[in-house]
Structures are given as structure tokens and as C-alpha cells.
Structure 1
Amino acid sequence: MVKKVQSIPEARLLLASLRSVGYNEETAIADIIDNCISAHANEINIQFDWKKQRIVISDDGFGMSDKALIENMRIGSSDPCKIREDDDLGRFGMGMKTAAFSIGKKLTVITKSNSIVSNASWDLDSIPEIGWNLIIRDESEISEFTSQIDHQGTVIVIEKLDRVIDIDDEKKAKSKFYRIANRTEKHLALTFHRFIEENNLILKLNNNIVKAWNPFILENSATQELPEESIFSEDGCAEVIIQPYVLPHKTKFASDVDYQAAGGPKGWNYHQGVYVYRNRRLIICGTWFDYIKKEPAYNLARIKIDITSASDEDWKIDIKKSTASLPSYVREAVERAIDICTEASARVYNSRGSYSKSNVSAPNLDYVWEQRKKNGRYSFHINRKHSLLNNLNKQLNDNGRETLAAYLVLVENFAPFMLSGVTDSLHKGKSDTEIDNDSLEYKVQIKELTNLINKFLSLGFDKEETKSTLFEMPNYRHLREEIIRLVEDANA
């Protein structure tokens, strides 16, 4: 008979380990803000309160019920293997707690949902006496914060800031406290710049609006956007989008102030490299993944990589959401993008002021075809961002652009090298008969087929001709049954 002996972790030692996960103050606060964004907050306020020696983060998001709050305050409140929503920035269900503990010993959350206010606290000093029990405070103790919540929202209060404030020297401690606040503002401006720019998220730190810092300097017309590439994971469930940029030569900035600002808070050399975004939230800033070393000539090379939470395991996203590892299935594509981007950067960097975007872009005129790899299957596609094609699209109306796009798909699929079997010889992944109907790749291809079928039928081609044409397309021939179904279901 198997004997079982319960072994409960020693609270003091476990919490000491959780406090030493590796956060710094700015990454800890960013992790807490992830929860605010996941709650669909429109405005988030961070207060570094020296007088009361605390950090307060408040939002106008959905808020939580009492039951939801208790669950979210539990350490390890979500399964990292669970499929998350596209806008969920969480990972392990430990971020808010471990992030807060890395700053201070006391965490209080006050939240309001459906006009009902709930609160719960962890006080690490109390755990040896009261055990793993949350503290629920009287309304009078939290009235200061409930008054800050309008119809709904959440307030997070971090106190006993033993990791931030050195009480032995008050003057130095205060100076350090506000230096941390300044660093935090710069970190948030980069980490959440896409939410500020794209979602009009309002972030305030000590009542000052945090202005987004976009590392790709898109507001400068001399910034080059190189061809984008999409790679699907080996199981077809996750897509990785690689977008390289080459920033302008120093002479293309309006002032030296603008040039220095484009270099970033830590300077040009630090900010060159790859930027990995998970659900549009920055995870990694300025790395070459040990493929090359940072050189001054590469200062203008910055590459944006977009992944989703479906890629967490592949990329080995850690609890802090500040480190990741490059999966093998994208390494070749990322290294190719690095080669192209750094070469273009070196040309611009060494141009000694004679650079112009037009003459640097000229060598890309022959970049007509792109090679893509999806789920082990290689294919070739026309570069949809080619300057001549973009110019032509601008001259067409919506119907004309759709017709041109359908014609380009025909060109791609009936190009001689696609029909010759060249791409078949490159296939190393799943066979054409292995189709995962739940994969992202499958859903993307079904959408593409649906659009093509509707366009062909609207142009007067009958269903039989449409089917026979699609059957011959190398990019879709593994979807024969789906083609038959989609054509039959389409309106003629």
C-alpha cells in the first residue's frame, strides 16, 4: 500500500523565492499593467507616493466580483497551457502577485464591479502567524481608494516597499524612488507603445501622460519598411510575423534632438536589433539572438516580430514576460531578415549624408518574389509591398484591387517553378494529407479560398471552371474537399 505524506511549502522560504524571480521595478509595474489592459481599461494611473511610501496603480477596467478577486489573488491562479484570448496578456496567473512582492511586502487590491466593492490583501509579514490567508479589510480602511473608482475599476496598492526604499538615508532613498519612477515611465512608453498608439490607451505616471515611444520611427518618411514574412508554427496553430525596418540617416531628422530621441532612452547601439511583441505587448527589446554582435553600422536596423500567446511554449516566455528563446522553426527566417536588415542599415549608416530613401530602396526593385514556409510547406508569393504594386493599387477602386489580388494569386500558383515540382522537393513537414482543421493555417487558407471563389464567380466564371482552376493551384491542392464544398456553397 502506498503511503502518502502531505508536504506543505514553508511560507517564508517560498515567498522569499517568489520575491527573487528577477523583476526590476519597471518590469514589475509593467506586469501589473498587463492585468489592467486585459481588463479593457481605457485609462491607467500610476502614483509613486513618497509621502505615504507606496505605489498605487488604478484603472477603469471591468473590475472583479468578490469571487473573481479571491481567485485572482491566489498564487498561480491560471494554467499557462490554457488557450487565452487574443487580448489577454497574462501567462501563469502569478504576475501581479510576484511583481508586487518584488517591490514590497504588502499588496492590497480594491475592485468594483456591478456597483459592488471588494477587497483583498496579502501581507507577507503576517503569513507566519495567519498562514496562507487573505486579509479582507473593513470599508473604512479602504475608503480612500473606493472614492477613486467611478462605475467600475480596480486599485492596486503596494506598500512596505523594502526593495525600493532604503530607510537608512532618507535623502538618497527619495532620490532613488523618483529615479525609479522616471525609469518606469520610459519603460512603459516602449513596452505599451502600440496600445497607446493603436488603442488610445491613456497611461499616466504621477499625473503626467506617458507618451508612446515607437522604436521604428514611422513618423519619419525616410524610414524604410522592408518586406514582411509570415511563418506558421510546426503544428500550424501559431503565426509569427517578421517585419524589418531601416531607420533614416542622421541627416534625415529635423533636428539633433529628434535624432537622439529616435536612438531611444538607452541610446542607438542598445536599441538596434529584434523586438518581440506578444499580443502587441513588448517582450524583448533590441537583441540579435546571439546571431551577430552589435556594431555601430547596424544602429539603424530594427526588426519587429509579432507572436501570440499561442506561441508561449515555443518561445519559452517566462513569468516576467521579459525573456524569450528563438524557436527552431523561425530561426532561418529571422536570421535571413537580420542579414537583409543589417546590410541595408550599413549602406545607410555609411552614406555620409548622401543617402536618400529613393536611391537606397532602388536595389529592392527586383524583390518581386518572396519565399514563405508554412507548417513545413514552402511556397512563393509576389511581394505585395513592392512600390510599383502599391502605386498601381492606389489608382484602383476597391473592386479593381480585389480583381488584381485574385489575378496575382493565379500568377503565383501557375508560375513555372510552382508547377515544376520545385516546392514539393523542399517540403520537410507534414504531408499534404495531414490537415488540422483547428489550426490557424487552415483557417487562413479557407478564408483566402472563399475570397477567391467569390471573386471568380462574380467575374462570370462558372463553378466547374473555378473548381478545376483551384484544384491545379499548388498552394491549395491539399484542400480538394474544402474547395468542392466552398464552391458548391457559394452563390453564383
Structure 2
Amino acid sequence: MSLVPDYLSPIETSGTEKTPPNPARTKMAFARVGYSLVEAIADLIDNSVDAKAGTVLVRFLYDKKGVQRIFIADDGKGMSEDVLSQAMQFGSTLPHRAKDLGQYGIGLKAASFSQCSTFSVVSNDGREISGRRWTNASFERDWLCEKLAESGCRQLLLAPWSGLKLNQKGTIVVWDDLTGLKSGQSTPEETVNRALGELSIHLGLVFHRFLSGEALKILLDVQFVGKRESPSSQEVKPLDPFSYAKSGAIGYPKKFEVELGEDIRVDLNAHIWPPRSNEPAYRLGGGKVASRQGFYFYRNDRLIQAGGWNGYRDDDAEPHLSLARIAVDLPQNIDVSIQKDKVETLPRGFIDAVRQAAVGSIRFPDYIKKAQEVYRTRGRATDGSDFPLVPGRGLSKPLREAARKFAAPGESRVRTIDFRWANLDAGTVFEIDRPRRRIVLNELYRKSILAGKRRSENDAQIFKTMLFLLVRDYFDFQAMTKARLEYLEGCNQLLLRSLNE
């Protein structure tokens, strides 16, 4: 089946509804126009998340001349005709829950008109199908929002949408007469591929908390005019800006608490990335990585701002602070001004409170200094306390050398963890001695562990090597929490059982 009748035939109109403008709200809406393509699409996906969509599809339709249409389709709960009519009115505000992502009532219109001259919304709430369309000409005709014929809307919903069953429930936003996506000197294919790459990064970052679980799936695909639907689509992967394997500094991340009055508390989760990282989650699409330092503000798990100091520092991209990132979840009762992908204004006193925030004896400015130090020393503490850990006495020299190549390749300076046999409690197979950097094994079980082999300083090499790999990170933890102690106890009990089998 060709896509031409579904996608390129005009959607019929059966009448109009007058939408009286509210000058103040209309001015506010168009003041926000200036979105990039990725910001505008992210704004529409906010609405999809609020509609409890499990999957969102962003589709580009193009021909040899360029991109002709963009669709944002979701399988959310859809809208009734009355709700859709209200949603398309300028100056109207739909009721929102506290945890909704779209709370300003103008995102749909402003985001759409920043990218196109004509946009339509077709929705199915499971009971009725409805459609509305705005065009630049609509404003000239006394603010008339077109009402679309149900037959055309139904035809669009029945088209193939990468597995989305929009004939049951869902919503499609259609952008025509595109103004925000120009090919310039590029071919249409190059334009589309560039847009897909930017979208994959931006949406993966903004919605990474949703995408990392099963709450949301975002698909991107491309269709050429007149061809069948492509059998495959690209799934957006989460891009978590804090997903390093190991912290760049011992004891981090730290949670700093900021008190703003009696009822408002904001947690600052201060992270230090490991230096010299090439991880996509660190580079976040490339470019100047230093511009990604600073605050990462979240509202209802949606990332609003990815980097920047919001007045805490004058320089938002000083290279020596490239490793510093702070996750900030904004509570419901905090008063902030949000514009597109940035927190414009924070509550009065917020920055001063950040400067005074502390975790024990460590103040927030100390965290800043630590992040700079890690960057300058390439992650090496000046006292050597974070040199890589490798096995020491208790293993043969060849095995120690092999372990060093594995655990600390190319490193000239390391810390060693030695092994020692000693008399321990009968319920314990091993203990870790953090101050002396030792793994202590229970002499009581030495014979069973050796399984008939001769005792020596370097005996039980397999057992010792596995213990080193199992517990080496525990020597660098800032605190032995209850959970960590319970884990070590569980390891002991499992080993004890295996020795008694």
C-alpha cells in the first residue's frame, strides 16, 4: 500500500471553530517561539508522557526536494473532541497534575509554530476521533481553527505507524510547510540523517530516566514519499550524564542539602566524572564537553537543563571543571522559571545556600576544588590514595605481573593488596583489613581450600585471585555501609557452605 493517499492528500475540513485570542497569553506563546527542532519535538513528547504513552514515534517524510512533513505520534490515552478543541485554543489552559511535564498550556502551539506554518492534531480517545488544524492563514481569517473531518482523521490513524495501534487510542501531531528544517546545501538525505542524529542525542538525554526503564520508548524513522513504510525504526537509547563505571574521586558522589525556607529542601547530588573519558554519556554528542559542566536540573524526572552554573560561577565552560556535574531534582513546591531547555530564574537565595551547603566537613566549594584537582592531576590524588589497586604478597611474581597488566594497564604507580592467613572466627572464611590493605583468610579452612596441595606463601592462588576481584572496590569505599557489610557477610556464608559440601 502506497503512503501517498494517507500522507499527502489534504485532510478534509468540515467546518471551523472560532478561537477568540487572549492577547496576553498569545504574546507569551509566540515569545517562546525560537525553539530548535529537537527542543520543539521534546516539548511535544512531554505531552505524550503526560498522556501515559508507552511509545512515541517521530517520523520524517521527505522527497527529492526536501523534508515535507514531520509526524509525532503516540499511543497515549488520546483526547476527546472537547479536550482537543480546548488544547488548540490560544489562551486556554488545560488542567494539569503536579507530576505532569507540560504545565504551561502553550507548548503545543509555540513549539509547532516554531517549526512550521501549518500543524494539525488528530486524536483518538477510544470513543471518538477528532482533528484540528492551525495555519498562518487561520489567524488572518479572524482566528479560525479548522475542524477536520472524521473520515480523514480515521484514515490517518489507520496508516502504518511502526506497530502503534492508533486506531485504538493515540494522538498524531502533523507539521506541514516546515520552516525550521532547511536543507541548504545539503541533500534531503543528509538533512534527515543530521536531524535524526541530533534528535537521538537530545531525546536520549532529556528523557533518559524514562527510557532507562520500561516507562517509555521513542522511535525515529524516515519515509520517502510514495514508498511503503520502512520495516525498521531507530530506537532512542538513554543517555545518562551520570553513568560512569567508577567515580573520578573517592567518596563521590556526595549529596549536599540546600534549605530554602521551612518547607523547601533541594538535594544536590555532586558527581565527579573520571578524567579522560570517551564515554558517550560524558561527551553527550561531542562538541565542547566543558560546556556540560554544572547543574543538571530535573523536574518530574525530565531533564530541563544539561549544564551551566546559573550564577554560581561566572564561567560556564572553564575546562578545569569539565568533570563536575550536579544532579538537582526540583521539588514540586519550588518556584522556578523555565524557558525551553534552561532554568531562567531560581528562588532568591538559592545560590547563596549552595555556597553554604555541606556534607560533614566538606562544603560545596570543596567539591568544586576537588573536581578541579582531579582534572589537573588526571585523576591522581596528590597523596597517592587513589592509585590503582593490584594484588601483592601472597601470589607468585608472574601472577602479580599478569594481574597488574589487567587491573592497572600502563600505570607506573599502584597500591597493593596483600594476602595473609590468620585464625579467624569459625563462621568467617575471609576478612578485609582496609587500613593495612589486606585480605585475611581463615587458617581454619586452609586445608580445605588447598585441597591437598602444599602450603606456601603463594598457595591458593586461584582462590586469592578471585577474592581480589570480588572485594577490591571495598578498599576505596568511603564508608562501610550496612548494605556493604551484609554483602561481605553473604559472600562469606556462600563460601563457607561450598567448603562444607
TM-score category of the 2 structures, normalised to the smaller one: 0.5 to 0.7
1:287 aligns with 2:314: no
The aligned residue for residue 427 of structure 2 is none
The aligned residue for residue 179 of structure 2 is 162
Deviations 1:251-273 (A, max 9, x none): xx5xxx43x65222134211111
The aligned residue for residue 68 of structure 2 is 53
Deviations 1:129-148 (A, max 9, x none): 36333322341355133444
Which of 214, 218, 240 is the matching residue for 1:203?
Answer: 218
1:95 aligns with 2:107: yes
1:136 aligns with 2:148: yes
Which of 78, 103, 107 is the matching residue for 2:93?
Answer: 78
CA distance in 1, matches of 2:356, 2:60: 44
1:111 aligns with 2:137: no
Relative to the length of structure 1, the TM-score reads 0.63
The aligned residue for residue 234 of structure 1 is 261
Change (3 A) 1:310 1:146: farther
CA distance in 2, matches of 1:15, 1:160: 22
- Higher alpha-carbon Rg: 2
CA distance in 2, matches of 1:201, 1:302: 25
1:392 aligns with 2:471: no
Q: Which has the higher strand share?
A: 2
The aligned residue for residue 66 of structure 1 is 81
CA distance in 1, matches of 2:218, 2:384: 37
Query: Which amino acid in structure 2 is aligned with residue 151 of structure 1?
Result: Q
CA distance in 1, matches of 2:77, 2:382: 49
1:247 aligns with 2:273: yes
Which of 339, 351, 354 is the matching residue for 1:331?
Answer: 351
The aligned residue for residue 370 of structure 2 is 344
Q: Which runs of 5+ in 1 are unaligned?
A: 1-7, 366-385, 398-492
Which stretch shows the higher mean deviation, 227-236 or 43-52?
227-236
Matches of residues 83-482 of structure 1 in structure 2 within 5 Å? 84-129=96-141, 131-140=143-152, 142-147=154-159, 148=161, 149-165=166-182, 171=186, 175-206=190-221, 207-220=233-246, 225-234=252-261, 236=263, 238-250=264-276, 257-258=278-279, 262-265=282-285, 266-292=287-313, 293=315, 294-311=317-334, 314-318=335-339, 320=340, 322-336=342-356, 339-352=365-378, 354=380, 359=385, 390-395=480-485
CA distance in 2, matches of 1:49, 1:9: 32
Change (3 A) 1:86 1:9: closer
CA distance in 2, matches of 1:100, 1:197: 27
| Contact 1:165 1:177 (C-alpha < 8 Å) held by counterparts | no
Aligned length: 351
Q: How many Å apart are 1:357 and its aligned residue?
A: 12
Q: How many Å apart are 1:388 and its aligned residue?
A: 6.2
CA distance in 1, matches of 2:45, 2:382: 41
Change (3 A) 1:116 1:274: same
Q: How many Å apart are 1:309 and its aligned residue?
A: 4.4
Change (3 A) 1:387 1:329: farther
Give the % identical residues. Answer: 27
CA distance in 2, matches of 1:20, 1:151: 34
CA distance in 1, matches of 2:177, 2:333: 37
| Contact 2:129 2:154 (C-alpha < 8 Å) held by counterparts | no
CA distance in 2, matches of 1:388, 1:219: 17
Aligned CA-pair RMSD: 3.4
| Contact 2:292 2:322 (C-alpha < 8 Å) held by counterparts | yes
- SS in structure 1 of the partner of residue 343 of structure 2: coil
Deviations 1:330-364 (A, max 9, x none): 22232356523321112211224645999359xxx
Q: How many Å apart are 1:225 and its aligned residue?
A: 3.2
| Contact 1:59 1:153 (C-alpha < 8 Å) held by counterparts | yes
- SS in structure 2 of the partner of residue 204 of structure 1: strand
CA distance in 2, matches of 1:335, 1:90: 31
The aligned residue for residue 18 of structure 1 is 30
CA distance in 2, matches of 1:360, 1:316: 41
- SS in structure 1 of the partner of residue 91 of structure 2: coil
Relative to the length of structure 2, the TM-score reads 0.62
Q: How many Å apart are 1:30 and its aligned residue?
A: 0.7
CA distance in 1, matches of 2:149, 2:262: 48
Q: How many Å apart are 1:92 and its aligned residue?
A: 1.5
Q: Which runs of 5+ in 2 are unaligned?
A: 1-19, 222-232, 358-363, 388-433, 435-475, 488-501
CA distance in 1, matches of 2:28, 2:170: 30
